[in-house]
Structure 1
Amino acid sequence: MGMGINAIIQMKNMPAVIFAVVLGTGIGLLIHFGRWIDRGAVLMERPISKFFPHKNNTLSDTEFISALVTVIVLFCAGGTGIYGTLDASMTGNNTILISKSILDFFTAAIFACNLGPVVSTIAIPQFIIFYIIFLLAKLIFPLTNPTMLADFKACGGLLMLATGFRIAKIREFPIADMIPAMILVMPLSWLWTTMIMPLL
């Protein structure tokens, strides 16, 4: 939540960022983006479970698979990881990714107590997903400007803040469904700065 607040204060165009979050979340809910991420996690769970079969007597097979899917979504599709990867690629600032890796290390240790060594294998799909995002962001960066990047960081900060509320069980925000906002925020920031602001 602290990382999120730190990113939000860099915002340049509040209306554009708010519109991106509202519109992006609406699109995510409309196309059930969160469910697609859950389905992807289920597909990843199958080969992982083959290498590390379920041996924990305290969890049923259903509970084990459910917990493993939760871990895959948390590590591979969380707003913090995606935002951190994009930020690192576009600005060279690795602070968010390093902070996430510290948090993930201890979170993985906690989950490993119940699920066993299978948790360590999630690092492979996580690396592949984040590396693809990193490379794609390199293509986007030449089209951006400092204002667009600041609004992008602020949007990511809002997602991180929402993630913090969810983890603390204060409010269940649909984090996965909010991810499309990260795609919309920079075009909306550019539109606000170049077309709407001159009219005001």
Structure 2
Amino acid sequence: MLIGPIVNSGAIILGGLLGGYLGVKMPERLRTSLPQTFGLCSMALGVVLLVKMHSMPVVILSVILGAAIGELFYLERYIARLGNMARGIASRFAPDTGMDQSVFTEKFVAIIVLFCASGTGIIGAMTEGMTHDPNILIVKAIMDLFTAAIFATVLGYAVALIFIPQWIVQFIIASAAVFILPLTSAEMMGDFTAAGGFIMLAAGFRISGIKSIAVGNLLPALILVMPISHYWSLFIH
């Protein structure tokens, strides 16, 4: 039984419900500053992950190709629909925050990416799938508890529903880890982590309101980076 994805999902539900309840009781200036602060933290973490890069050409190529694929298939548009659906479901059971729909979508897409595509979550799921050790995902759950609560103060109870795509992603990765991990190398993992750092950096810019980058369209880079890293090391470097 996979414990980590369940614990992580539970933390998001709890944080989303807690933040949604406290949101209307918090001063407006606090509801504005907390997500901006977290956006800065996301950018800082992205920079730290970039340091683990093994081959810059590999990561840059993966991000560019990934962005092109995401744009061609309108990936962010589909993620935005999930966010709007989550808002609609949540509004049936609890008062909505009244946030403008475009602003809500802008923020919600970025945090879906942060929760579901972070390097910590993916590596933690792979580790549990291979070793049955859920500790990495449990640590992520603790961080996600507070992250979900912070964003739910602004976006409302819809944040709690992010547990659904995150659980699906982590369950699939953990189940497939037996086949994935033996094929990876330290160099491939370094490049993968750096690609995740790019995405976290872009998400941080978007959450902080500095620059609206289509972070959802960058997600294919996480699929491309390991194969590109492998063949780059094999034939070029």
Interval of TM-score (by shorter of Structure 1 and Structure 2): 0.7 to 0.9
Summarize the Cα distance change of 1:45–1:182 in structure 2 as closer, same or farther, 3 Å threshold. Answer: same
* One-letter amino acid of the counterpart of residue 66, structure 2: G
Match of 1:144 in 2: 184
Compare 126-135 and 20-29 and name the one that shifted more: 126-135
Summarize the Cα distance change of 1:138–1:159 in structure 2 as closer, same or farther, 3 Å threshold. Answer: farther
Match of 1:8 in 2: 50
Q: 1:101-140 residue pairs with structure 2 within 5 A?
A: 101-102=142-143, 104-113=144-153, 117=157, 119-140=159-180
- Whether 1:196 aligns to 2:233 is no
For 1:18 and 1:100, locate their aligned partners in 2 and report how far apart those are by CA, in whole Å: 30
Gaps of 5+ in 1: none
For 2:102 and 2:173, locate their aligned partners in 1 and report how far apart those are by CA, in whole Å: 26
Gaps of 5+ in 2: 1-42, 129-133
Match of 2:114 in 1: 78
Match of 2:80 in 1: 38
Whether the 8 Å contact between 2:125 and 2:137 is mirrored in structure 1 is no
Partner SS state of residue 77, structure 1: helix
For 2:118 and 2:176, locate their aligned partners in 1 and report how far apart those are by CA, in whole Å: 12
- Partner residue of 2:123 out of 77, 87, 101: 87
Match of 1:164 in 2: 204
Whether the 8 Å contact between 2:110 and 2:203 is mirrored in structure 1 is no
Partner SS state of residue 78, structure 1: helix
Summarize the Cα distance change of 1:16–1:122 in structure 2 as closer, same or farther, 3 Å threshold. Answer: closer
Summarize the Cα distance change of 1:33–1:108 in structure 2 as closer, same or farther, 3 Å threshold. Answer: same
Q: TM-score, normalised by structure 1?
A: 0.75
Whether the 8 Å contact between 1:80 and 1:100 is mirrored in structure 2 is no
Shift of 1:74: 4.3
Shift of 1:30: 1.0
Shift of 1:76: 3.7
Match of 1:59 in 2: 98
Whether the 8 Å contact between 2:70 and 2:218 is mirrored in structure 1 is yes
For 2:203 and 2:155, locate their aligned partners in 1 and report how far apart those are by CA, in whole Å: 23
Match of 1:175 in 2: 215
For 2:111 and 2:192, locate their aligned partners in 1 and report how far apart those are by CA, in whole Å: 21
Whether the 8 Å contact between 1:79 and 1:176 is mirrored in structure 2 is no
For 2:174 and 2:111, locate their aligned partners in 1 and report how far apart those are by CA, in whole Å: 16
Summarize the Cα distance change of 1:108–1:27 in structure 2 as closer, same or farther, 3 Å threshold. Answer: same
Shift of 1:170: 1.7
Superposed CA RMSD in Å reads: 3.3
Percentage identity across aligned positions?
37
* One-letter amino acid of the counterpart of residue 59, structure 1: G
